[in-house]
Structure 1
Amino acid sequence: MAKKREINVQNIPIAVVDHNNSDYISITDMIKAKKGNFFVEHWLRNRNTVEFLGIWESINNPNFNYVEFDVIKSHAGLNSFKISVKEWAAKTNAIGLIAKAGRYGGTYAHKDIAFEFGSWISPAFKLYLIKEFQRLKEIESNTHQLEWNFRRSLAATNYRIQTDAIKEKLIPWGDTPQKSDVYIYAEEADLVNLALFGLTAKQWKEQYPEIASGHKTIRDCADTHSLIVLSNLENLNAVWIRQGVGKKERYEMMREAAIDQLASLQKYLAAPSTIESPNKKKMSELLQAKK
């Protein structure tokens, strides 16, 4: 599980964690809002609960064990029926409920199931839970968007540094027509694109025409990790241009740097990328090439 976040619902702190790229909410925390001596197992005994969980798993879990589920459902609601979260997960291969020990321990439910669990506590609690969860996601979305905008601006600034190096070392300004300047700039920009994304800007537009039709570019669709590396590559390229390093050598060095830096970011920056990028497949292939 990734680092815990927290929301406050009717003065009760409730943990939210990322598990398999989905938000899971602590129903161990949530049950504190229900008056009386109740446990998650009491909710699991209910036949309606079991049927709801079965439907959710059938939609979201291709490895769900329907045979065991049918056995459990046939006993649900009986006075003798009792099952724990761990037993439920072990018998049915369920993924919607997880029981964790140690740090951030307790029972967590996928947000869809947690909202349903909120109804068992009270309709009001469920509504407040949804409201606070949405507030958390809005805050996270705004934070990540600001971060992405900053990285994009940084990359744009470094692109200017790179074009200054091109003007200084690659373009004979007194002799070269204006149309040739544009060609050389694009060629150098695509050298960086190829090293990082494995595609030129034109190839990207041809591969993702629907996205490109919305006036998006290959760099607009990069995630924050890619933009960090992009910024670094443009700086390196500017330095190597001034040093007179040839294009083939610069491409090979940038590609090696991109692979190393992406691998480092993937290892040390645990937070997943928040912007879905059509470049991800190419980035994955780039990392695989290193192995």
Structure 2
Amino acid sequence: MSPTKWITAVNAKGIISKSGRYGGTFAHSDIALEFASWISAEFKLYIIKDYKRLKTDESSRFSLGWNLNREISKLNYRIHTDAIKENLLPPELTAYQISMTYASEADLLNVALFGITAKQWREENTKMKGNIRDYATLNQLLVLANMESYNAILIEQDKSQAERVQLLHQLARSQLKAIEEIGTSEIKKLEKK
């Protein structure tokens, strides 16, 4: 009996079978571990140890950089949105106009850093889920956090959007260059701490 027929016959949960290119039978980790014990106790132990190692590597590699960036982004996002609210939003705007102003400022940062708006990115990457920032490198996310703070200052200085996009683009280029010159060795030192 094929895996697909078995899955259908017993209404199995936690296991799927796909045919064709990149196909295969995929199971929840608990089911896979039980399958490993059916083969042999030694094989199950090997699978468990390797699975734990992979999970530990994955969490240690991503957690520090991701959490640090997340906290910095939260702070800078608040600074950025407060500057927009206090300097760019007249009280008579509708909720739609307010949301468009925030979106326009987010796209200003996207254009300055990535050279493209969120909408353009979605149109060019229809098969990818999420948004442009979900696919940014750690270096780009760090620069983006700095750009949010700098844009807040520029807004308070009453700089036009055209001036701000040029200044933000210059900042992005210089900071990315500096980070690349430092290299990933310094970032790796942080991840080990």
TM-score band by shorter chain is 0.5 to 0.7
Counterpart of 1:159 in structure 2 is 77
Counterpart of 1:37 in structure 2 is none
Q: Which structure 2 segments of 5+ residues have no match?
A: 1-41, 189-193
How far apart in 2 are the matches of 1:250 and 1:232?
A: 14
How far apart in 1 are the matches of 2:182 and 2:56?
A: 23
Of 168, 190, 196, 2:107 maps to 190
How far apart in 2 are the matches of 1:152 and 1:210?
A: 26
CA distances 1:215-252 after superposition (whole Å, capped 9, x unpaired) = x1211221211110000000000011011111111111
More strand by percentage: 1
How far apart in 2 are the matches of 1:270 and 1:145?
A: 14
Counterpart of 2:56 in structure 1 is 139
- Superposed displacement of residue 134, structure 1: 7.3
Matched, 1:223 2:141: no
**Higher Cα Rg: structure 1 or 2?**
1
CA, structure 1 residues 225+198, in 2 after alignment: closer, same or farther (shift >3 Å)? Answer: same
How far apart in 2 are the matches of 1:222 and 1:198?
A: 13
TM value normalised by structure 1: 0.44
User: Structure with the greater relative contact order (CA < 8 A, sep ≥ 6): 1 or 2?
Assistant: 2
Matched, 1:207 2:124: yes
- When the two structures are aligned, how many residues end up with a matched partner? 142
Counterpart of 1:255 in structure 2 is 169
How far apart in 2 are the matches of 1:200 and 1:273?
A: 28
Counterpart of 1:265 in structure 2 is 179
CA distances 1:23-52 after superposition (whole Å, capped 9, x unpaired) = xxxxxxxxxxxxxxxxxxxxxxxxxxxxxx
Counterpart of 1:74 in structure 2 is none
User: Equivalent pairs: percent with the same residue?
Assistant: 38
TM value normalised by structure 2: 0.65
Equivalent residue letter for 2:124: Q
How far apart in 1 are the matches of 2:155 and 2:178?
A: 25
Q: RMSD over aligned Cα, in angstroms?
A: 2.7
- Superposed displacement of residue 152, structure 1: 3.2
Check the 8 A contact 1:162/1:237 in 2, yes or no.
yes
How far apart in 1 are the matches of 2:71 and 2:125?
A: 23
How far apart in 2 are the matches of 1:149 and 1:267?
A: 24
How far apart in 2 are the matches of 1:133 and 1:268?
A: 34
How far apart in 1 are the matches of 2:119 and 2:144?
A: 18
